[in-house]
Chain A
Amino acid sequence: MNALLTLPIMIPLLGAAACLAIPQRLVAQRVVALVALGAATAVAIALAVLVDRDGPASVALGGWNPLVGVALVADRLASLVLVVALVMLSAVAVYAIGQRARSGNSPFYYPAYLGLSAGVSGAFLAGDLFNLFVFFEVLLMASYVLMTLEGTNAQIRSGTTYVVLNVVESTVLLAAVGLVYAATGTVNFAELPERLAELPDSTRTALNLLLLLAFGLKAAVFPLFFWLPDSYPSAASPVTAVFAGLLTKIGVYAMIRTETLLFPGDERNLLLVVAGATMLVGAVGAIAHKEMKRILSFHIVSQIGYLVLGIAIGTEAALAATVFYLVHHIPVKTSLFLVEGIVEDEAGTSDIDRISGLARVSGPLAVLFLIPALSLAGIPPFSGFVAKLGIIRSGIEGGAVWYAAIGLLASVLTLVSMTKIWVGAFWGPADTEPKRPLTNRRLMTGATTVVVAVTLAVAAFAGPLFELAQRAAQTLHDPAAYIQAVRGS
């Protein structure tokens, strides 16, 4: 079973190499990419089932002592998020084939995309801080390429901001890793908890803050979010969908990892304030904008606030809600951007002042937008309702009543800006003769429908999923099993 751990990283990497070897054959590249992502998804599902049954799994690469060498670890959280991420990556790969955007025709699209997938898998499975940094770099490098692949002026401009910001983030993270090593003599997740516990409080807090700064930049929390609504909209829509769905969430994942494993029980008042501000600023920013991609990008920021709120509350119930929120949020956000991609493809713009009547042009497209939009705002019976309910309830129980109230307010504001998109783009008289935007784009629609179906499945199976999230939170809350798995491998 432990050999399975390497496959979600190795398969996409081998696929990327294979794609690079056949730059002229775009069709073959697509086949390779789909096969690689499908295989990686299958492995991830098997891994998640096994980990849920047998507890955390770990493998020491190259046979080194796992405390010194490179260890990969999968606990319930990692394997669950890995499955969701790889399903999204596969669906968006299909969508990108359907879109045949210019970036989709570049021979470097699929190598970069598969590299991104490998980096994402690796970041979820990394068993020590340094390899977390390395896999961050792998996925960031791939994301730089994807972001600027078309090389237009707008992409270069926003790509530069994106790259420089992320380089700063990487530098902060690397410095944090170096300082953690200087203070404790290890970077391994299994050994760090006890070594960090021996440190004086001030040192611990400083290290914690540095790590939070790095991951907060990555996750786009207030006040480090400004780069996100600027850079994401300029990439091709499948790329934006993947970035929106996954990349910021990896920052959140790293935060969950470090806060629960390395600094359990520390005061998290700062995180609470950051979470409240992030929720509000994201929701208010979304109201100010008039372009679908921008509005949705601000929603990412706002949603990150809820996740951070769950981490900041830090009780087992809050962690369970955070894990569930993560699982709900990734497909919802991805599907919204996929729908936005179809709209932009059809109307030639995503400015809600310049499009109208899409619901008349295509009813199914409107439904595909409406479901994740309502889910994101937290309207029952969709998955967002269960996720938000979990976070807000644990907030009230955990003594963060005001922050729970801010969460509710941000929810209403999210609904307001979603209504703005709905009224602007979908209602009203149709500009053009009713066309068939969906039947002309079978692959794009199919992929979007699958992702929307995943969000509905999250709502339909909310019970079992929430129980799984609770089991994951148990492992997070009591990391003995995690530590044991790493030491024993």
Chain B
Amino acid sequence: MSVALVIAIGGLAAAGAFLIMNRSLTRIVLGVGLLANAVNLLILVAGGPAGEPPILGSDGRGDPLPQAFVLTAIVIGLAITSFLLALAWRSWTIDGNDEVEDDLEDRLIARRRASATRASELRAAQEAAALQDGGVEQTEGTR
């Protein structure tokens, strides 16, 4: 296993993870591609040292199974990337950008909570004011 490959895997995965956390779908697509390739390299490394023909050769022979895995994974990655691109295109035709938006229902609930807190704060303030008024009235009453 070569250190260069391991560094490459780590770099690809880090860059991919960073890109996926963006809001722009185009960046997410790129991130998905990088992540997928990081994993492909990882499986290739899992197969043992490179340089020998996959099945022929005697002692230092490569393992054909991980290569079959990687081939399958590449095909799947292609399908996913093209689907994501189609999604990005559709998003673009609908509202002119490819940003992933918030969930409306989540916002509603968050707003409900915010307004509930505001209402309770208001109520607390009113009660405090009423208490003060009451105190004032009481003192006036005793006079």
Contacts and interface: CB of A to CB of B under 8 A. Distances in A.
A163 B31 CA distance: 13
Contact of B46 (A137, A151, A158, A182): A182
Interface residues of B, number: 33
A233 B46 CA distance: 40
B95 A230 contact: no
Given A161-B100, A164-B20, A291-B105, A181 B66 contact: yes
B135 to A, nearest CB: 39
A120 B69 CA distance: 20
A130 B69 contact: yes
A475 interface: no
Contacts of A148: 87, 90
Contact of A153 (B66, B94, B105): B94
A175 B42 contact: yes
Given A68-B65, A157-B100, A181-B65, A167 B32 contact: yes
Contacts of B65: 68, 181
Nearest to A144: B83
A177 interface: yes
Contacts of B79: 137, 141
Contacts of B42: 175, 178-179
Overall SS of chain B's interface: helix
A423 interface: no
A288 B109 contact: yes
Given A168-B20, A178-B39, A288-B109, A160 B87 contact: yes
Nearest to B92: A156
B108 to A, nearest CB: 9
Contacts, number: 88
Interface string B27-45: 0100010011001001101
B112 to A, nearest CB: 9
A159 interface: yes
A153 B46 contact: no
Contacts of A158: 103
Contacts of A153: 94-95
Given A164-B32, A174-B43, 11 more contacts: A137-B76, A148-B87, A157-B100, A160-B91, A164-B28, A167-B35, A167-B84, A170-B80, A174-B39, A175-B42, A178-B39
Interface of B: 20, 25, 28, 32, 35-36, 39, 42-43, 45-47, 65-66, 69, 72-73, 76, 79-80, 83-84, 87, 90-91, 94-95, 100-101, 103, 105-106, 109
18 contacts: A137-B76, A148-B87, A148-B90, A151-B90, A153-B94, A157-B91, A157-B103, A158-B103, A163-B84, A164-B20, A170-B80, A175-B39, A178-B42, A179-B42, A179-B46, A181-B66, A181-B69, A230-B103
Nearest 5 pairs between A and B by C-beta?
A182-B46, A178-B43, A137-B76, A178-B42, A174-B39
